[in-house]
Amino acid sequence: MKPIFLDHASTTPLDPVVAEIMVEVLKGDLGTGNPSSGTHAFGWDAATAIESARAEVAALIGARAEDIIFTSGATESDNLAILGFARGRADQGRHLVTSRTEHKAVLDCARQLEKRGWQVGWLTPDRDGRIDPAAVAAALRADTQLVSIMQANNETGVVHDIAAIAMICRARGVCLHSDAAQSVGRMLINVESLGIDLLSISAHKLYGPKGIGALWVSPRARPWIEPIMWGGGHERGLRPGTLATHQIVGFGRAAAQAREHCESDARHIEALAERFRSGLADLGGLRWNDHPVHRLPGLVSLSIAGVEGESLIAAMPAIAVSSGAACDSASGEPSYVLRAQGVKAELAQSTLRVAFGRFNTESDAAVAVSAIREAVTELRSQDAPGSPAGVYWKMGKSGSLREGAQVRCFVRLDAARRIAAVEFRAATCPGVRVVLEGLKSELVGRFAATPELGDPRDWARRFGLPTEKLGRLFRVEDALRAALEAAGET
Report the CATH number that the domain containing residue 367 is assigned in CATH.
Answer: 3.90.1150.10
- In a domain, residue 166? The reply is yes
Q: Please pick, among 109, 169, 175, 327, the residue that the annotation labels catalytic.
A: 327
Compute how many other C-beta atoms are within 10 angstroms of the C-beta atom of residue 267: 11
Q: In this structure, are strands 213-217 and 198-202 parallel, antiparallel, or unpaired?
A: antiparallel
Q: In this structure, are strands 68-71 and 144-148 parallel, antiparallel, or unpaired?
A: unpaired
Choose one of 339, 361, 382: the last residue of a domain: 382
Choose one of 349, 382, 415: the last residue of a domain: 382
d(CA 456, CA 445) in angstroms, rounded, equals 20
Which residues, listed in sequence order, are joined to residue 322 by a DSSP beta bridge?
A: 353
Query: In this structure, are 319 and 456 located in the same domain?
Result: no
> Are 348 and 166 within 8 A, CB to CB?
no
Query: In this structure, are 37 and 119 located in the same domain?
Result: yes
d(CA 300, CA 281) in angstroms, rounded, equals 13
What is the identity of the amino acid at 246?
H
409: annotated active-site residue? no
The domain that holds 215 is classified in CATH as 3.40.640.10
CA-based nearest residue to 366, from 269, 301, 279 = 279
DSSP 8-class letter at 376? H
Please return the burial class of 219, using the count of CB atoms within 10 Å of its CB with bins 0-12, 13-18 and 19+.
exposed
> Are 367 and 4 within 8 A, CB to CB?
yes
- In a domain, residue 356? The reply is yes
Query: In this structure, are 351 and 446 located in the same domain?
Result: no
d(CA 376, CA 368) in angstroms, rounded, equals 12
Q: In this structure, are strands 213-217 and 68-71 parallel, antiparallel, or unpaired?
A: antiparallel
d(CA 186, CA 200) in angstroms, rounded, equals 14
For position 103, what pLDDT does the model report?
96
Choose one of 217, 236, 259: the last residue of a domain: 259
- In a domain, residue 78? The reply is yes
> Are 150 and 103 within 8 A, CB to CB?
yes
Compute how many other C-beta atoms are within 10 angstroms of the C-beta atom of residue 14: 18
Query: In this structure, are 81 and 157 located in the same domain?
Result: yes
d(CA 451, CA 168) in angstroms, rounded, equals 68
For position 194, what pLDDT does the model report?
96
Query: In this structure, are 101 and 248 located in the same domain?
Result: yes
The domain that holds 464 is classified in CATH as 3.90.1010.10
- pTM score > 0.85 for this model? no
> Are 326 and 335 within 8 A, CB to CB?
yes
Please return the burial class of 326, using the count of CB atoms within 10 Å of its CB with bins 0-12, 13-18 and 19+.
middle
For position 223, what pLDDT does the model report?
95
Handedness of CA 266, 271, 272, 278 (dihedral sign): positive
- In a domain, residue 3? The reply is no
> Are 361 and 354 within 8 A, CB to CB?
no
DSSP 8-class letter at 3? P
DSSP sequence for 341-374:
TT--HHHHTSEEEEE--TT--HHHHHHHHHHHHH
Cα Rg of the chain (Å, integer): 27
What is the identity of the amino acid at 297?
P
- In a domain, residue 2? The reply is no
Query: In this structure, are 280 and 238 located in the same domain?
Result: no
Which helix (H) or strand (E) segment is 213 a member of? strand 213-217
| Residues 6 or more apart whose Cβ sits within 8 Å of residue 1 | none
- In a domain, residue 1? The reply is no
Which residues, listed in sequence order, are joined to residue 328 by a DSSP beta bridge?
A: none
Range of the domain at 189: 8-259
For position 488, what pLDDT does the model report?
74
> Are 123 and 129 within 8 A, CB to CB?
no
Residue 37 phi, psi (nearest 5): -85, 110
Provide block-wise average pLDDT over 10 residues at a time, the chain (490 residues). 94 98 95 92 95 98 98 97 96 96 96 97 94 98 97 96 98 98 96 97 98 97 94 90 96 98 97 97 92 95 85 86 56 77 85 96 98 90 52 75 76 86 80 86 83 81 84 87 77
Query: In this structure, are 255 and 238 located in the same domain?
Result: yes
d(CA 32, CA 61) in angstroms, rounded, equals 30
- In a domain, residue 169? The reply is yes
Query: In this structure, are 171 and 245 located in the same domain?
Result: yes
CA dihedral 318, 320, 324, 325 (to 10 degrees): 80
Number of domains in the chain: 3
Query: In this structure, are 336 and 475 located in the same domain?
Result: no
- In a domain, residue 388? The reply is no
Q: For residues 435-461, b (16+ Cβ closer than 10 Å) or e, as one string?
A: bbeebeebbeeeebeebebeebeebbe
Query: In this structure, are 74 and 217 located in the same domain?
Result: yes
What is the identity of the amino acid at 232?
G
Q: What angle do CA 478, 484, 488 make, to 5 degrees?
A: 145
Query: In this structure, are 253 and 279 located in the same domain?
Result: no
DSSP sequence for 26-78:
HHSGGGTS-TT--SSHHHHHHHHHHHHHHHHHHHHTT--GGGEEEESSHHHHH
Query: In this structure, are 131 and 252 located in the same domain?
Result: yes
Q: Tell how many helices (H) and how many strands (E) occur in the chain.
A: 15, 16
The angle, 0 to 180 degrees and rounded to 10, between the axes of the packed helices 430-443 and 456-463 is: 110
Compute how many other C-beta atoms are within 10 angstroms of the C-beta atom of residue 208: 31
